[in-house]
Structure 1
């Protein structure tokens, strides 16, 4: 008897930790999804960092078309040398069940050779779907997450300056038709395919709503029979989404956004003992102006100022540094921060 208890204790200690998760956190309803929108527009108000119109003729053409719609005629052949205008592509996601008048966020990205969109304002831009129908209108001030400076031929930049966002920058003008709940059934789709989890969710729904209500079709899809009527379906989904299911350990995830330089980790990220070599890389740009004068003052020569730019790449080797194992997120953060504070010898 004692031997059986010891074996049971060992098996319990080796099993993965389980946690109760709501069904709504594990699945999505098939057909209830975002839809992509796209549009072409102009950003104005840039401080000399816009498109070079000689190299991007579509910017000048777009500006002329916009001015003509406002009743302003640009004489043919006019060479508009503008530096505060940039041609951009505007993208957005139309959420499910969106209604006319709601606001959504938009992403603005330069498609020309603009250096920065900081301080710019997006003019009214129609956003279309794949059916070429206008679903929203975007306009507003562009918020750029990067930073940069330039002086005397040298420049420094952190993250991207040729793209930005406008919070609540688009207003929905057309609703997307939906087939939600038609046919008396819905499909629940797991965020990650798992045969065991699909069966567990199906069993949990059947225990509460009756046998035959839910049927797992594969490792990702669960077919659910729903009552007729939109109000009944909403109540039905609200009930089954709050059912708790015992699941195993969640996979560790690390998300890196190269545009903003941010790193996101979930609570299941751990570190094993390892050694890391970290070196320093520096780029130095040095610009000096050289003055060339003629040898004879009365020989008819001219004084010429010639810019000389020197670019050097300096790389310093890094020594191996030990990172201790960390079993929880707090220790992981401390270990990574300590690694950044250490200096190579």
Structure 2
């Protein structure tokens, strides 16, 4: 891309940035929360582009000044400094152009949101539930390393350990944009704890990652929701099985049902369940967006079928394979201990390459 055409594109966005900067201080905008949040997000996105544009302009100016000095200056020291400046700026320009092109490609509009994650034991009975528990531990450790907060909403324990199903929310910066790559079928190959003859079995667990919907993203009418209360189940405790603190919400128009029994307070359980219900209703619309780009990008499992097999964890060989980008790593123990960032980094790189290709910038 020619320098001037890239700058023209960026200069237009600088004008919009200045306009948004003024709008978010307007009392009329501040009174409209939905509009304010939308403009605030646009402001943060444009701020990154404007910062990159300013650095790009600085590098171009640096090249121009360095060349001028080399053309007119005879002092050896000045010429040496100009050569260094020219080399520095020239070497930074290509990577900066790639960064800017990527910033100009529209990202998934939900990337900055928190996430709701559900893990379900699939084929493999007790072993699948144990593996679902292993995945939950892996994600919990990963989220801790990122400084994200994990809160369990609901769970159903397996008979030999782990979980038949566990649903939890993850709160932090840009959570959905990173965890969305985990949606799909995770397959494990190992000798189960329940196996007496040492044979390797294949089991699976499914992971679904939903963007957490805010109140202003989707309006759920109270009249459309049936609220049921029931006693919490699980390990003993003074409040368990004695108070009706657990909540089940049924959204009558869609039939979507969610429940939360993790908190001792009925009020807190209802608030958590309501967030999950909104997110599940919102996800129906979001899925249309994902399906729309599914045919264009192959790396992101969340763009298509959640039943797609995305990753295999092979314990005998200590190997993890991500099938979307044909990536194999031989550090299974570390990955199961939460070190999944190297896999996610490769998926992000692959997807960014596809985003640039499809945008033809």
**Under a length normalisation based on structure 2, what TM-score does the superposition of the two structures give?**
0.25
| Structure that is richer in strand per residue | 1
Greater Cα radius of gyration, structure 1 or 2: 1
Q: TM-score, normalised by structure 1?
A: 0.25
Greater percentage in helix: 2
